[in-house]
Structures are given as structure tokens and as C-alpha cells.
Chains A and B, each alone.
Chain A
């Protein structure tokens, strides 16, 4: 028995290696740009005189595939539209088409890093990926390899700190900003309020709560009476709502990123006859998907923060930006249904912001790109609400740092200045 072993094991390992080499060798690039090998001034990979390729690693399967698919659809639609018009004019004078290569990471950080490894030698820059752990997994590698990780969909403040993350930039507002915006509104209302908090037990929820608390900590009229969390894998938050209802708070600060749980929370509160004013984050406040099934009209006020126009809102039905966006999404973005998540709109804005950077970059290099990316100021991307703009020049802030607080009016949202 033992005498067969060595030969058989060698065969097995040789087969496995051959398989591995054959399969992965096809996808692997050449040795240019190997870790610790980036040369200055040399043309970066992923860009030629006629085209530039962007890479995305994002969840396209699993529980976060809904928003994940949107993060690809928006930017693909935007550049699909631009390519059809002839391409984007770059700062170095050449007009190029923009290609997108997207890979699925299933919200697994290890897979995200593998996707990055696979893409980094073929693409000019990485962009638009969803998720904090998945983006964090290859952040260090991107810094070491000097690959841009530009305009990603996470509110984690680490990505916008220029010193810590020189090759990164977040797109969406940091979670703290959104929480703070509502906290300031509430504190400025002058009346006494009792606040109950229900947040998701991860950096997302914690960020919102941190921002909210920092805005209300000096306000005498605001008292936080109860604070609970829930897990993203929970099937129901009934128990939490029951306990919070017992606190008789008149405002609930709800940092929840899962649509079904928000709907069921709204429904449960009504069942218990507890009708506080309700705060929801920007990604789970859609009138069609959340407030109507949840019965939002029963509450004295549903507040949210936003920087993007909601395409489903009747107020924007004739808005030309919205019309163009919806058409492009269907035609170029491979997304035939109405956008189910705001990430579709955000990804469209990422496309527009990238176009700005492309128009300003003077050389076809990643260095030049990052410089151009970090110098965009006061840019009103299509679909942005008035009073919000893209500003990438502020250290410590992502591309979008301004949000407005809005209140549900039964069909859509109105921007409000004060808490009513």
C-alpha cells in the first residue's frame, strides 16, 4: 500500500497544479505592476489610446445582490450612453470608450481580494464596489500596488482619509454624516423629544448612531431613552420594537439597511399602536418599496436623508435627468426593471464623477487620475438634489458629504429645514 502512495500523490498534486495553472493562467496578466514594482511615469495598465477599462468587485449573488447589481448597472449604463455618443474626452486630448469589467464576490472578503488580484493588471482603476469588509479586504493591497479604489459604495470613513488611504475615495456620505444631519435637525427643533434607537449591529448601524449622538449630545431637549440592535440575519425585529414601544419615545432613530425588516418594523409599531416620528437611512426609505407596504402614512412624520432624486417619485417624473437615466439603465445597463435600490442612482452619479476626473486628468496614468479625482469641487452630478454636490477636495470626506433631510409627504419626499 505505501509503495503506491508517493507516485499517486505526486500524480494527484501534479494534476491539481496543472489544473490550477491552466485555469488561472488564462485569467492572469503579465508581470507588469507586480507588488513593489510600480514604475513612475510608465503608462498604467488598462488604458490605451482608444479605451479605458474599469474594474468592479461587488456582490452579484447572495443576500446583498440586489444593491450589488445596482452598483454595476448604474455606471455601466452611464458609460454605455457616453460610449454611444462617441466616448469620453480625456484631459490628454484623446477620446476613449470606457469599458467595465465586473466580478461577483458574494460579499465574501476573500473572494473580493481574489477578484482584485485578477483584475488589477487588466484595469485602469477599480470603482463602485459595495460593502465595507469586502472593500477593506483589498485596501492594503491596492495601496501597495498603487491601484485606485475610487468612489466605492461604503460609508466607512477610513476610505476618505487621504493619509490612511491615498489611493481610495468613498462615494456615499459616511454613515456618521447622515446620522448627524438628522440629529442636528431634531436638536434644533426646540421641543423636548424622547428618542429610541434601533440599529444594525455592524459598522453601518454604529456609524449612524455615532453621528446622531454626536449631534444631540449637547442638546438639553433630546433624551435617548432606549437603544437596541439587531443582526442582519434576523428574520424579524418584533421583539425589539415591542421593547422600544414600551419606552414611549416620540421619535425612533432607525439605522436599518434591510428593506423587509424596515417594513415589518413599521407594521409592528402600528400594531402596538406606537406611532413615533420615524427616521430612516437613505438606502431604505423608498416610498414604493418601503413606506407604502409599511403603511408609512400612519406616522406623524417619516424622515430620511438623501442626496439623490428618487426616480419613482411623482415630483421627478418629467425631470430630464431622470428620464435619460431610466432609459439608459434599460438600454445599456442590462437592468430592465425600475431601480429597486438607490445604489442604481448612486452608481450613475459615480459614472458622472468619473467622467469629470477623466476630463481633467492630463496623463494616462493612475497618479494623474487620482489627482484629478481629488480636485472636483461643486459638481452637481445628474440626479443630485439641489443643495447637494460632489466635492472631493475635502480630506476626510467622501465624494458626497452634503445631504438634505427630507420628510415623507404621502407619495414622495420634500426637503425640510426644520422638524415638525
Chain B
């Protein structure tokens, strides 16, 4: 039977695991994390806060992509479209001075509805159609954003300064923005973690592995694909809201197709089907351009390509697989590739096209 998603591979020796079983350790680590995150914005410099906030924005976007692509196995090259829609909804609402809570709710719902509509139409058709429709979203979205210039500001974009720190809080703007990102982003991460660790996550995994098996178990692939896609769009909308909080400007370039590809790369580099991987992916998306700019501003593309390839060469499972790779490297010699191949073979066995590039296969059932 298909092996469990690889990020749950148990690696610790017995003494370490017995330490972790103690209840106070179980609570201490997340609590420590919360304290660190609460204090962090207050001690770090403005630029670090701004960078962390940007990382948060794109980590949420990558998380959404992970839900539909990493966990449910459906190719989506349009995640940036939902970020863009969320950002535009936010900008429009703020410019018209709507209540900020209403704006946030709309920034979640409008992209979710759009994603639902798209998924309802495309999910029945199999992986190829979903891939093409998702490619269409940013490509058609950009000229559409330009055409609807009354709402979107056209190609000049929309500025919306609304995330200024409240008067009495004594916080600087960048700290306030980072707190918003941490609270909203953190909540989304937590909710998603519960989702993918529960029955929905299991259903997604089965649909990803083999759709025929799924339907024979009574799990409707169609329903779960639509669900995954809608959730991904909703999360994309949230990331769009956060984008406006941090960047405070949006334009048609926000949802260009090139960014979709970059999000996909960030997801894989961070680690597909991994919560921590989404965070690392967001960090990759934001930090690598900054890093390459520091090295040589005229060679950014070249350096980014090199970094991407080097990371994937060393860690084909993404950055989140580093702990696993280290322990596996200690125990087995040169079998990284073998392990990666065997743990991911469920996804390369053809369901009904989990990704656009899958070859037809007449492999005997060996899920």
C-alpha cells in the first residue's frame, strides 16, 4: 500500500522520542514559539520586520498552492491569480473606505468563489484541463485587470495605505504590519495544519495517489478536488489581503504568469505537501532575490537559476526534507534517490493525470 506522505517518517532514536512524549515538552515548544514571535517584531530592525512580513505573505500563498498541488496532487499554475484578486478586492475596499473586517472577509470570499467556479468546471476533466485553466487565470487576469480600470486603477495600479499602526499603541508601522501578518498568517497555517492532518487530508492523499482507488473507497475525487481548489483559492485571497497590508500597492503585474511559476518553484523548493515547507518556500521566494541583489545586481537571474538547481540537486524533496535527508544519509549510503523515488512513486503512478506532464502508463496496479 502507498507509504504515508514522507514528512511523517519517524527518525528519532528511542531516548529522544521518550523525551518528546513528556507532556510538558509537547506544550513547551509551541509556547516558546509563540513567545518568540510575539517579541520578535519589537526587537528586530525595520528592514528585518518588513522582510519577515513579506515572507509571511508569500508563505501563505505557497501554503494555498500546497493544499491543492502538494496534498491533493492537482496542478495549479494560477495561485498568483487568487493572490491578485484578494489584493485588488482589498485595495478597492480600502479606497472606498469600507469596514476593514468586511474587506478582509471579502478578500477571502471573492477569490474562493472564483476558485470554486473554476474548479467546478475544470475538475471533472482531469489533470490536463485543470492545468490549462489555471495557466489561463493569470494570463487572462492581467489584461482583464487593465480593462476593468474603474475598479482596478488600470495599468497604473491602486495604492492603499491603511496598515498604519494605531495611535496609542506605540508601535511602528512595520511592527504593526508584521503582527497582522503573524496573527492572520499563523491562524491560516494552524487551520490548514488541522485540515491536512484530519480526514480531509487523508482523502486528499488518496485522491492524489490514485483516483480510481479513491472512488472505489467512496471518496469522490471530483468533490475533493473542488474542495482542495476552493481552499487553495481562499488561502490565496488571504495572502492577497496580507500583500496589501505589507506592500500597500497592487497593479496588474502582481498577478503575472511569471510569479505563478516562481510560486511553484518556491513550493517545491520549500517542500511539497509540507506545512513547514510552505514557510520555507515563502522564505525562498523573498530572500533569494534579495540575496542575489547583494551579490551582483546585474546577475540576479543567473544566480537565482544556480541556487534553484543546487538546492534541488542536494535536496530533491525540498528544504523541508533536510532533517530527513540528514538522518537518512547517516543510516543509508547513497540511497537518497532510491528513497525519494519509492516514497513518491504513488504520485507518479497514473491516477487520471495528477499533473500535466504525466505519461500514459500501463503499469500494473501497484499503488
Contact = CB atoms under 8 A, between A and B. Distances in A.
Q: Do chains A and B touch in the complex (CB under 8 A)?
A: yes
Contacts of B294: 26-27
A27 B289 CA distance: 13
Contacts of A36: 172-173
Interface residues of B, number: 67
Interface in B32-57: 32-33, 36, 40, 44-48, 50-52, 54-55
A156 B155 CA distance: 11
B20 interface: yes
Contacts of B338: none
Nearest to B11: A4
Interface in A1-25: 1-14, 16-17, 19-21, 23-25
A69 interface: yes
Contacts of B55: 16, 20
Nearest to B55: A20
Interface in B242-294: 243, 247-254, 259, 275-276, 279-280, 283, 286-287, 289-294
Interface stretch (B23-31, B309-317, B342-350): B23-31
B156 A136 contact: yes
A19 B14 CA distance: 30
Q: Interface majority SS on A: helix, strand, loop or mixed? A: helix
A202 B149 CA distance: 10
A69 B298 contact: yes
A201 B287 contact: no
Contacts of B253: 107-109, 133
A116 to B, nearest CB: 10
Contact of B293 (A3, A103, A109, A140): A103
A326 B36 CA distance: 55
Contacts of B174: 34-35
A29 B47 contact: yes
A259 B293 CA distance: 28
A62 B262 CA distance: 14
A391 interface: no
B161 interface: yes
B21 interface: yes
A61 B290 contact: no
A144 B249 CA distance: 14
Contact of B33 (A14, A34, A108): A14
A31 interface: yes
Contacts of A133: 155-157, 249, 251-253
A132 interface: yes
Interface residues of A, number: 67
A115 B197 CA distance: 38
Contact of B52 (A17, A115, A141, A231): A17
B32 A10 contact: yes
A50 interface: no
A107 B254 CA distance: 10
Given A8-B323, A109-B254, A202-B146, A104 B297 contact: yes
B36 A25 contact: no
B159 interface: yes
A36 B173 CA distance: 8
Interface string B131-162: 00000000000010010000000111101010
Given A7-B25, A27-B294, A156 B247 contact: no
Interface string B297-308: 110110000000
A158 B153 CA distance: 13
Interface string B182-200: 0000000000010001000
A25 B293 CA distance: 15
Given A8-B323, A10-B33, A36-B173, A156 B48 contact: no
6 contacts: A9-B276, A20-B283, A28-B51, A29-B45, A102-B297, A104-B298
For the complex of A and B, the 8 pairs showing the least CB-CB separation, nearest first, are A28-B47, A12-B276, A202-B155, A133-B251, A10-B29, A24-B51, A61-B301, A137-B249
Given A16-B276, A27-B290, 15 more contacts: A2-B197, A11-B323, A16-B283, A24-B287, A25-B48, A28-B47, A61-B301, A104-B300, A108-B259, A133-B249, A137-B247, A141-B248, A144-B173, A201-B155, A206-B155
